[in-house]
Each structure stands twice: as C-alpha cells, then as structure tokens.
Structure 1
Amino acid sequence: MSLQPLLIALQFLTIIPVRVSIPVNPQHIGQSLLFYPVVGLILSSILLIVAWLLNTQSLAVSAVLILSLWVVLSGGLHLDGLADSADAWLGGLGDRAKTLLIMKDPASGPIAVALLILVLLIKFVMLVELLGQHNYLAIIFAITLARSALPLLFLTTPYVRQDGIGALLVANQPRIATQWLLAGIALLSVIFSGFILLISALLVFLILRYCMQQRLNGTTGDTAGAMVEILETTILITAVII
C-alpha cells in the first residue's frame, strides 16, 4: 500500500515536514482519512516523549510547554476552525448563508478570542491534572479520538462547500474501510479506557453534528476543526473528573 495517504494526512493535520508526490492522486486524498487516527497517535507520542523529558519540571511548566507544542505541531489548524465557527455561529443569527459567509472572513471577533482563551486554559488545567495522575493514556485518547471523529463526520454528514480539500476528502472517502476503521477504534477505546471516554466523545459528536445540520445542512472545514478542539477538551475533562 502506498505511503502517500499517510503523508497527505501528516501534511494536512500537522506541520511535520513530509514530501508528497505531485500531482496528488484524488484517491490518495480520500484514503488519507484512514490515517487521521495514526496522525493522532504520532502527535500524542511526541507530546508524551516531551512530557517524559520534562519529568523533573513542575507540572505547570510541563503542561504549558506540552500545550504549546501541541498547538504548534497542529499548526493551529483546528483552533482556527473553532474561532471561525464561533464568530459565524454568533454573527450568522441563525441564517445559513450569512454563517457560511462569516466563516470565510479571516478576522476574529471578541467571541472567537474569548473561546480560544477558554479552551486553551481548560486544556492547560486538565493537562496539569492528568500529568499529576500519570494518566498519559487519556492524552493519547483525547488527541486520537478527536481526529478519528473527522472521518466519521465526513462519512455521515454532507459537505456544504463545493471546493477545497474537504470536498475532495468526502468525494473520495473509502466508506467501507472507514466503517471498519471506526469500529476497530471504538473497540480499542473500550478495551483500554472503558466506555466513559468513548461515550462522552460520541455524545458531544452527535450534539455538534446536530448543530451543524440545523444551521448549515452539513459541515465545513471550519466546523470540522472546531469539533476536533471541542472533542479534545471534552475527553480531557472527562478523564480528569471520572
């Protein structure tokens, strides 16, 4: 099997330097969705190696450095989607066309800035707690399950824009392989972390998908990115409080 789908997934979801063959095969773009969970595992593994290297530092210092690296490695991609979605949801006033238009505006309003700060603060506090508990598995699951939700979203939800990488992903997604992949991830999640993390992630996924359907009749790249951030935060919180 070609490595191109994995390289495409790494190039799209991270700033890790990889070389993708040009021209890109649209089939490989669709197949890259199968490797989103792998990208989550790679990211979380890097963060845990850094956590191990910082084990002589205070929990707060370790958490802030790990969170900073987390943001940098992902290129702020999902945070950007969260900011755009927050502005669009508030400014769109329930109107689909207006919501989609605001999402294309590169400027961030006060609600976007406030939400980004809130999400990063929550992640920082949860990381402090999880590092203190040596609950590294929860960090792996937060990052991996959130990215696993992307192929599930594209499998079950129409993509409302006709152009861009999202449209290519949906048009070329290997649907049967995606279903098997998601079933395997769900099984592994239950085996290694129990039902609670998976159920909390699924509940939030369904709520977010419902909101997207109600407002947009589907999803966009921005709302998909926002979903990743919200799911990561949800899983971290759940892991701390259970």
Structure 2
Amino acid sequence: MASDSPDPVDSSARPAPRTLEDWLQAVGEAAAFFTCLPLGRGAPRFRAVDTLPIWPVVGLAIGLAAGIDLAIARWLGAAPWLAAVVGLLTAVVLTGALHEDGLADTTDAFGVANADRTRRLEILRDSRIGTYGALALMFSLLLRVAALTQIIVVAGTGGGLLALAATHALSRGAMVWPINGSKPARSDGLGAALGSPPAAIAGWTLAVGGGIAFVALLAVAPLAALLSAPLAVALAAGVTSVARQRIGGYTGDTLGATQQVVEIAVLALVALCVGGGR
C-alpha cells in the first residue's frame, strides 16, 4: 500500500456487499487494487472498509501464483535459491512492488533522526528512496530468499508453495490491525478513505488470514501454523505503535510496511520450524 495520494477506493455513499454477486464484485475490486492485473479500474462499487475480509483471500491468490511459479522453476531444474527468487519475483511483479514501496518509504521517514511529524509525512510522500529505504528493501529480499530457500530444501517444493500462500494471506489480514486500532495520519490519502472498520469486520479479516495460514502451514510446520497468527498480530501492533508515535496514525505506506514485516517474519518462522532438527 504505497500510494498516499487521494484515493477513490471509498465513499460513505457506497453500500456494503450482501449477495454472492456483490462479494464476487468486491473480490474483483480488491484484486484490481492490490495487483497490476487488467481487471478494470473504474470507480469501486463498494466501500473498501466493508470488504476487508477479502484482502487475505486476494493475498492467498497472489501467494499461490508465486508458489506455482516457484514449483515450475523447480520442475525445470532450478536450484532451491533460484526457485525462491522466481517465486518472490512473481509476487513483486504481480503487485507492482506495492508493499515494498511502502516499506521503503516508511523506513526512510521513520529512520530520520530528530524529524517532526510534518517532515516525516513529507518523506512518506517523496517518491525518492533514501539510504534507509534501500537497506530495508535489500534486507527484506535477502531474508525472504534465505527463509524460502531453507523451506524448499527441508520441506520440499510443496512446502515452499504453501509457505508463500500462508504468508501472503496472513500478512494482508494483519494490515487490518492499524486500520482498526489507529487513525489516519492525514486527512487525505488512502488512510482517510478507508476510515474505521466495525470490530466484526476487523475480526473476520484477522480470522480469515489466520485461518488460511493455519491450514496451509499445518502440513509444513505445525508449530509455525500455531504461532504464525499471534506473531503477525504482535508485529502489526508493533508497527502500529511506532507509526502512532512518529506520525500520529497510519498511512498507505505504513500499511505496506506492516504487510512486509509480517511476510518476512512468518517466512522466517516457518524456516526455523522446519529446520529445527538440522
């Protein structure tokens, strides 16, 4: 979630989806927002805040696409590390590096010493990447490649595919935490457009993300299946707390940073759990 320009994803006049047809339409709208797929970019029919439980489902689809490409690379003879790179690259291309951009902007803004809130918000809107952002992207990719490589080596190609599906679903479910537990840092942009979801919507979003991750990881690393959701919530709460201290709330960039932090940590958790006996 990198963009903080005024975003048309929401309007108080839009209804909540109720029928199956409505929810299928909402899935298409969420997929169009989170990916670069040509799914039609007209005005959304539904309020994004009412369709948050779809976010982990879209994440699952992105993770499965990445996992399938990983499996194809392995079938073609790629080494585990190369297959891991292919899988991660698929997700980056599919999403247009949406969340990676948010991570880079957030670390640039939060890493500057002695900057006030106004200056940090200015940095978040600056499209240039600084030293902190470049380092964050480098370590993000290195950690994910290393973790995914270990998962493939120990748990096989199927384990890598399921790990990607789980982390992408759970990390997008975790993005509801700052939306529900904080407030937009500015009066315009994505955060202001989203608003505050009802507690039930936030709960369902976390439940869907956590449920998908639990089922996907159960056959790969049962301990990781149990710990992944609590870890995701703890990290999302931590990023939310830092963002509240630095800028007074959340933005689209800090939501992207939340997704990245959770994805990295859960992949590392799975790698540690599958490799515990080695």
TM-score (norm 2): 0.79
Change (3 A) 1:174 1:122: same
State how far apart, in whole Å, the 2-side matches of 1:225 and 1:35 are.
16
Partner SS for 1:93: coil
Cα offset, 1:120, TM superposition = 0.6
- Quick one: which amino acid aligns to residue 127 of structure 1? L
Cα offset, 1:202, TM superposition = 2.0
- Quick one: which amino acid aligns to residue 106 of structure 2? S
Cα offset, 1:35, TM superposition = 0.9
State how far apart, in whole Å, the 2-side matches of 1:184 and 1:110 are.
36
Query: 1:223-238 to 2 correspondence within 5 Å?
Result: 223-238=254-269
Query: What residue is the counterpart of 1:24 in the other structure?
Result: 44
Higher share of residues assigned helix: 1
Query: What residue is the counterpart of 2:16 in the other structure?
Result: none
Confirm whether residue 156 of structure 1 aligns to residue 177 of structure 2: no
Cα offset, 1:70, TM superposition = 1.5
Cα offset, 1:119, TM superposition = 0.8
Query: 1:29-68 to 2 correspondence within 5 Å?
Result: 29-55=48-74, 56-68=77-89
Partner SS for 2:183: coil
Deviations 1:103-150 (CA, angstroms, capped at 9, x unpaired): 111111112112111111111111111122222332222111110011
Cα offset, 1:174, TM superposition = 5.0
Cα offset, 1:190, TM superposition = 4.7
Partner SS for 2:135: helix
Query: What residue is the counterpart of 2:229 in the other structure?
Result: 198
Confirm whether residue 166 of structure 1 aligns to residue 191 of structure 2: yes
Partner SS for 1:162: coil
- Quick one: which amino acid aligns to residue 66 of structure 1? G
Change (3 A) 1:186 1:95: same
Confirm whether residue 108 of structure 1 aligns to residue 129 of structure 2: yes
Confirm whether residue 178 of structure 1 aligns to residue 209 of structure 2: no
Which structure 1 segments of 5+ residues have no match? Answer: none
How many residues end up aligned between the 2 structures? Answer: 239
TM-score (norm 1): 0.90
Identity within the alignment, % = 28
Q: CA RMSD in A?
A: 2.0
Q: Contact 2:166 / 2:214 at 8 angstroms: preserved in 1?
A: no
Cα offset, 1:11, TM superposition = 1.3
State how far apart, in whole Å, the 2-side matches of 1:239 and 1:12 are.
28
State how far apart, in whole Å, the 1-side matches of 2:43 and 2:236 are.
34
State how far apart, in whole Å, the 2-side matches of 1:38 and 1:149 are.
12
- Quick one: which amino acid aligns to residue 147 of structure 2? M
Query: 1:87-98 to 2 correspondence within 5 Å?
Result: 87-91=108-112, 93-98=114-119
Change (3 A) 1:16 1:188: closer
Change (3 A) 1:38 1:110: same
